[in-house]
Amino acid sequence: MQIRLAETKDIEQLIKMRWDFTLEDYPSAQEKSDYHSFTMECKNFLEQAISSGQWFIWVAEEGEQLVSHIYIELIQKVPRPGRVTAPFAYMTNVYTVKEYRGKGIGSKLISVVNDWVKENKYEFIIVWLSEDGVRFYERNGYARCIEPMEYFPN
């Protein structure tokens, strides 16, 4: 098992994983999107993300197959007098292929991400999770925080 940052050669697999991940939680999404249109949009996003220095997509690879991933976006903070302002990490799209779940792969991957955040002195990681994910994150050192507020313009 190799854990590394995603490269452009991984884009097709990442697109398929994103599609599968979404349909697993929201089966009706397939009625609203066709795979070809989604592929074009996601490919554009991934090409930009991989080269941006703002997004870091961590993957776990078994042989030539990606089996898990975590997407991290660095969020720059507005400087504040009297303290060094480090970015924080927004974690999203945490997914392991069904056949590989329960084998500790997600925990190994998140451990690498946690170490990377410490090494780079990012302030913290924030992740919005489903109720199904609570135990996974707690096992990996995460704590619940007060829910953020949201605004949805029509």
* Residue 62 pLDDT class (50, 70, 90 cuts): very high
In angstroms, the Cα distances linking 133 to 7, 50, 117, 139 are 27, 26, 20, 10
Q: Enumerate the β-bridge partners of residue 91.
A: 72, 127
Question: Which pLDDT score is estimated for 143?
Answer: 84
Q: pLDDT confidence of 25, banded at 50, 70, 90?
A: confident
Domains and CATH numbers, the chain: 2-139 (3.40.630.30)
**Cα angle at 51 between 46 and 54, to 5 degrees?**
90
Q: What's the pLDDT score for residue 65?
A: 96
Mean pLDDT in residue range 101-110: 94
Q: Which of 117, 60, 45, 131 is nearest to 87 (CA)?
A: 117
Q: Are strands 125-127 and 88-96 parallel, antiparallel or unpaired?
A: parallel
What is the pTM (predicted TM-score) of this model?
Answer: 0.88
Taking residues 16-21, report their average pLDDT.
92
